[in-house]
Structure 1
Amino acid sequence: MKEDPILTNLITELKRGTLTLCVLSQLTEPQYGYSLLQVLCDKQIAIEANTLYPLLRRLESQGLLQSSWDTSEARPRKFYALSDKGRSLLSDLAAAWREQTSQIATLLEEESHA
């Protein structure tokens, strides 16, 4: 079956728009990058390291995440967790997501009955 490049691009855009919410939702407890990558993949959220790490740095620079280094192991790891601002934003973003998905579901339901 041949993939439609327009559909592929639209799906990529849709996923890109939701990755921030996905990442923030998994940082209520501290995680280091690779463990976060594994958690997301285990939950069927496809994200690559070269997408995740810049996103983490951007969210930290926006004040939504705080980070700390754990040097107790042989390999130092940078842990990320939600800041207070990040917790508040996650709550607001999740509410906006629920509202938008409800509205879209209503539109799609109307379409299927048309």
Structure 2
Amino acid sequence: MPIEEDLFEKLRVELRRGSLVLAVLGALREERYGYTLRTSLEEAGLPIDEGALYPLLRRLETQGLLTSEWREEAKRNKRFYRLSPDGLEILARLLGEWNAISESILRLTGKDK
């Protein structure tokens, strides 16, 4: 891989990492368990490995942004996640920030015309 592609890939991963938090919070306005969350992210164009998703979910829950509960479904125990009230507030604030950043970038790059 040429150096330019390697550099691009590193920067792409860095950009994507922050976006995934916002995507996960947005997707969890509806209750989901890990597999359906992962599938919905992938269908939206944001695939994520299980090895990255579950630590992210645990961190967001520890931060008070998600709640979870174990339930049996189809004879299997599954952990269901959803936004907490604090998570809903943070999501709204982060979306506002995301939109402001996006508008600024579009203005700076001349893509807002």
Same fold at TM > 0.5: yes
1:69: which partner in 2?
Answer: 70
1:55: which partner in 2?
Answer: 56
1:76 aligned counterpart, secondary structure: strand
1:69 aligned counterpart, secondary structure: strand
What is the CA distance between 1:74 and its match in structure 2?
A: 1.1
Residue 101 (structure 2) pairs with residue 84 (structure 1): no
| Number of equivalenced pairs | 110
Residue 108 (structure 2) pairs with residue 96 (structure 1): no
1:8-19 correspondence runs (5 A): 8-19=9-20
What is the CA distance between 1:73 and its match in structure 2?
A: 3.0
1:66 aligned counterpart, secondary structure: strand
2:7: which partner in 1?
Answer: 6
- Cα distance in 2 for residues equivalent to 1:17 and 1:80: 20
What is the CA distance between 1:50 and its match in structure 2?
A: 0.8
Identical pairs, percent: 41
- Cα distance in 2 for residues equivalent to 1:109 and 1:101: 12
What is the CA distance between 1:4 and its match in structure 2?
A: 1.4
User: What amino acid sits opposite 1:77 in the alignment?
Assistant: K
TM normalised by structure 2 equals 0.92
Residue 103 (structure 2) pairs with residue 106 (structure 1): no
Displacement over 2 Å in runs of 4+: none
Structure 1 portions without partners, runs of 5+: none
What is the CA distance between 1:72 and its match in structure 2?
A: 4.3
TM normalised by structure 1 equals 0.91
User: What amino acid sits opposite 1:94 in the alignment?
Assistant: L
User: What amino acid sits opposite 2:103 in the alignment?
Assistant: S
2:109 aligned counterpart, secondary structure: helix
